[in-house]
Amino acid sequence: MQVLRSIDALSTLPGPLALAVGVFDGIHLGHQEVIRAAQEHATQHHGTAVVVTFDPHPMQVLRPGSAPKLLCGPRHQRLILAQTGISCLLACPFTAETAKTPARDFLQQLVRASRPLGCISVGYTWSFGHGREGNIHLLMEMGQEHDFAVYGVPPLKIDHEVVSSTLIREAVSKGDFHKAATLLGREYSVFGTVVEGQKLGRQLGFPTANVDVENEQLPPLGVYAVEARVGDQWFPGVANLGRRPTVAADADPSLEVHLLNWSGDIYGQDMEVRFTRHLRSEMKFSSLDELKAQIARDILAAK
């Protein structure tokens, strides 16, 4: 996937450009409708579809103390977008100064950089710019001024609820993977890099991959049957998401994955982990032998 880091870089792409604009945290079914509108316009007009988003998530800049966990971090987002058929992403740097940009100025930048701008697709209720002054009405006004189409995609409802990142975060935080998958259109997963840990699992005979997750929303602590992607291949496994009370005191939560039918060194590699089923809550054992025996039972349960 081609990743652009400035609005001006849009000038390097063959137009007309069809821009799907939004935060797109999670790229859930509602987001996918916004992206699909831009893709269809690009196909019809022989142009280029581009997803335009912001890095970091605006809430991490505007309200860092209360910013929500992400449904997908930046690298995970690119991976999911590629699966939708998008080949180009504009990740606009978002700073405190960016937040002061008037909505009209932001749109003018997109118009000037595109060669030409064919359309902008957004969620119908999306707002943007300083003071959230930008909305679908401003987009339509500027579309008439600068001759680009505007698609305001209405909110998507499933089971009488509007699909939203907030709703999905709530489902994941409760371990409701079925609801999360229904709203996302895919199984919920987290993404990160395998880093070195204490290697206790290897000493016990069950080597684990310690996944440094991209600040993403995690389910409740516990042991899970999982599927993990290494490279282009998925492997079944069992994961412990917890504080490792048997071997550590007041440790930060970590995600450790034992892959079934796997051998080799995966330190430094990226891993995507999707949670299949909750097996049990995290427990503290009186000895490493008890822990080892329970891990063996967890593996059988995961299989």
| Residue 166, pLDDT score | 95
Do the beta carbons of residue 278 and residue 180 sit within 8 Å?
A: no
Q: Identify whether 56 is preceded by a cis peptide bond (ω within 30 of 0).
A: yes
Residues 106, 107, 110, 113: what is their CA dihedral angle, to the nearest 10 degrees? Answer: -90
Domain 2-165 has CATH 3.40.50.620: yes
How do the domains of the chain map onto residue ranges? 2-165, 188-302
Distances (CA, A) of 190 to 211, 214, 221, 251: 9, 8, 14, 20
Give the separation between CA 141 and CA 216, rounded to whole angstroms. 37
DSSP state of 256: E
The phi and psi torsions of 245 (rounded to 5 degrees) equal -60, -25
| Residue 227, pLDDT score | 96
| Whether the domain at 2-165 and the domain at 188-302 fall into the same CATH topology | no
pLDDT, block means (10 residues), the chain with 303 residues: 95 96 95 97 97 92 88 94 94 92 96 97 93 94 97 95 96 96 96 80 73 93 95 93 67 87 85 94 83 89 92
Q: Give strand pairing partners of 236.
A: 227
CATH class of 188-302: mainly beta
| Residue 158, pLDDT score | 95
Do the beta carbons of residue 266 and residue 248 sit within 8 Å?
A: no
Give the separation between CA 104 and CA 83, rounded to whole angstroms. 32
Residues 52, 55, 57, 59: what is their CA dihedral angle, to the nearest 10 degrees? Answer: -110
| Residue 247, pLDDT score | 57
